[in-house]
Chain A
Amino acid sequence: MGDPRLNVSLKQLLNSKKVVPYVLLLPFFAFFLVFRLWPILWSFFISFTEYFGSGIKFIGFDNYVQLFNDRVFWIATKNTVYFVVVYNAIMISLALMVAVFLSSRLVRIRDFFRSVYFVPMAMMLPVVAITFDMIFARNIGLISAVYGLFGKEFSTRWFSDPDLAMWAIIIMRVWRAMGYYCAYFLAGLASIPQEIYESSQIDGAGRFRTFFRITLPLLKPMLLFVVIMSTILSFEIFDEPWILTQGGPANSTLTLQIYLYQTSFLNGELGKGSAIAYMMTLFMIVFSVLYVNQLSEKNPRRKRAKQQG
């Protein structure tokens, strides 16, 4: 019938400060439920099932037990951990060192170098992979060309050698990410007030002393952030090893994400794939906790508290 009082109320309701936030959040919430929350729960559930796309069979922990006994899974884990640890150690040390050099009062064209070092981020990972393939390649590569200048022949088969393939990937990742994390460290270093350096200089501390006793501890929060972020991101490495070697040669570049892809999307084993995904999540959480513990153990206040308690 159209009671005018009711109509006015609906409009007022939708505009009231109590309801507006829910309306504004509605699209987000719809997406969140469909693409985040439900998938997280559903994939946890099917990790306990045998599921090939049609017909679900509940099998309890069988997938996880299977993974535990799966030699290839542990190879993938070993490769991924090896990559994450080695790559991050090299890359973060380099980024930190370069940031410190750039922040030194002796270097004035800091912004120029920072801009240059950041440029590799403009290259997408597949492009990086393909370009570096052409750098490492035997007949058509850059290294080969340089060797040719000296009349020598370049015969290292970077991507056919199980011991070298992962290193090629580490090198290209370090190349790409160094400038990126260097920018983080530069921001962190810039937030340290100049007075601290001046007073330490008055106290007669040399450059190395100043760095290790003053700069590094003050930089710890940023360092922790970078280490954790880079570790978690690099754990999911897929593009380069898949495009270049498909996890080979001899599974030497097989990462956990590649193994998940092969299991779920090439072999159709969706249940087992979900189990792999959750194992990866577990590893990543363990890693992060380890790092946080390691880096905060060096906090003297905590040590003293431990000694007393």
Chain B
Amino acid sequence: MAIQRSDRWIRVALLVFLSILAVLVLIPFYWMFVNSLKAQGDFYSATSTLFPANPTLANYKELLTDTHYGLWIGNSFLISLLVVLIGLFICAASGFAFAAYDFKFRSLIFWTVLGTVAIPDIVTIIPVFNIMVKLGLIDSYASLVLPFAVSMFGIFLVKQFVETSFPMELLESARIDGLSEYGIFFRVVLPLIRPGLAVLGIFLWMSSWSSYFWPLIMIRSEVKMTLPLGLATLYANPWDLKYGVLMAGNVLATVPIILLYLLAQRQFIEGLTGGAVKG
């Protein structure tokens, strides 16, 4: 009897703690949203308010007409899409090659690649920047797509996926049926590894979409900026920082991702944790 009673108290305490934590986690979203609805005048008063005095959508209108926000979203979208398409193709082809074939330099190539994974990206920034300068690709989409089209991690992921859940007999029977090796790759393998590709796709998308440092280095003109860079530029305005407009920008940048999260939660979590956490 005593055990049950103390158990109930612990359960209540745990639930209270977890609930408070949940509220704390969600507060910044609320604050971001609420401030996007405040008129500019609200920000000039000495004190801050928890709710907007007169909620207005003016900030959103101003965001889309007075800034390059539309362009920024378009740029981010295009670049991320290219990264995902190219990245998925290359990772699938390479992962499949490592997993399904035994070829002479297989180990050598694989371990060379594995060896360089330990070296962080910061070491490559300056030379890659140099390459982009020499190729005249600074301030272009290519400078943000090309370096990220290949993800070592993605290749390992596909290799794992094919090695563990792909029936090799299928390859053999496809060969007997007369399909070329490339035909097998496009018609048999790709469709079957689609769930793994969906997860990898989310991973590639999110890395590209939220990237700030590389665009900061590669992009020079405001119209070519990606979303994170554009928002940071809006923020860095020292003269008349329009907080409401800024928050509207933040909201519009976050809502699509939250939607993606709500619609495909399992894949989202799996994608961001690199497949380590399954749904």
Contact = CB atoms under 8 A, between A and B. Distances in A.
B122 interface: yes
Contacts of B101: 17, 20-21
Nearest to B278: A187
Contacts of A128: 28
Nearest to B105: A22
B155 interface: yes
A217 interface: no
Contact of B155 (A28, A239, A261): A28
A60 interface: no
Interface stretch (B53-61, B62-70, B192-200, B243-251): B243-251
A107 B18 contact: yes
B212 A140 contact: no
Contacts of A260: 122, 125
B48 A148 contact: yes
B120 A21 contact: no
A207 B214 CA distance: 48
A232 B120 contact: yes
Contacts of A28: 90-91, 93-94, 150, 155
B167 interface: no
Nearest to B43: A140
A105 B121 CA distance: 42
A241 interface: no
Interface residues on A, range: 35 or more
Contacts of A137: 48
A264 interface: yes
Chain A interface secondary structure, helix, strand, loop or mixed? helix
Given A20-B182, A184-B277, A187-B276, A265 B250 contact: no
A32 B31 contact: no
A22 B103 contact: yes
- Max chain B C-beta neighbours (<10 A), residue from A27, A130, A236, A285: A130
A267 interface: no
B243 A140 contact: yes
Contacts of A144: 47-48
B269 interface: yes
B32 A131 contact: yes
B125 A277 contact: yes
A280 B126 contact: no
A274 interface: yes
A118 B147 CA distance: 29
Contact of A35 (B24, B28, B29, B146): B146
A305 interface: no
Contacts of B90: 27-28, 31
B190 to A, nearest CB: 12
B239 interface: no
- Max chain A C-beta neighbours (<10 A), residue from B29, B96, B100, B127: B127
B107 interface: no
A303 B7 CA distance: 38
A125 B210 contact: yes
A146 interface: yes
Interface string A8-31: 000000010110111011011101
Interface in A157-179: 175, 178-179
Interface stretch (A38-46, A68-76, A192-200, A291-299): A38-46
Interface in A226-252: 232, 236, 238-239, 243
B93 A15 contact: no
B97 A101 contact: no
A104 B246 contact: no
Interface stretch (A85-93, A109-117, A208-216): A109-117
Nearest to A127: B250
A59 interface: no
B22 to A, nearest CB: 5
B69 to A, nearest CB: 13
Given A135-B28, A139-B46, A140-B43, A43 B22 contact: no
Given A18-B103, A116-B25, A123 B123 contact: no
Contact of B47 (A43, A101, A102, A148): A148
Nearest to B120: A281
B188 interface: no
B14 A124 contact: no
Nearest to B127: A39
B209 A43 contact: no
B150 A125 contact: no
A135 B31 contact: yes
A265 B126 CA distance: 9
A107 B254 CA distance: 30
18 contacts: A27-B89, A39-B128, A40-B123, A104-B14, A113-B22, A119-B29, A122-B254, A123-B254, A124-B212, A126-B235, A130-B235, A131-B32, A139-B45, A145-B50, A148-B47, A149-B50, A187-B277, A274-B123
Interface of A: 15, 17-18, 20-22, 24-25, 27-29, 31-32, 34-40, 42-44, 46, 53, 98, 101-102, 104, 106-107, 113, 115-128, 130-135, 137, 139-142, 144-146, 148-149, 153, 175, 178-180, 183-184, 186-187, 232, 236, 238-239, 243, 257, 260-261, 264-265, 270, 273-274, 277-278, 280-281, 284-285
Closest A-B pairs by Cβ, 4 of them: A39-B127, A39-B124, A124-B210, A145-B48
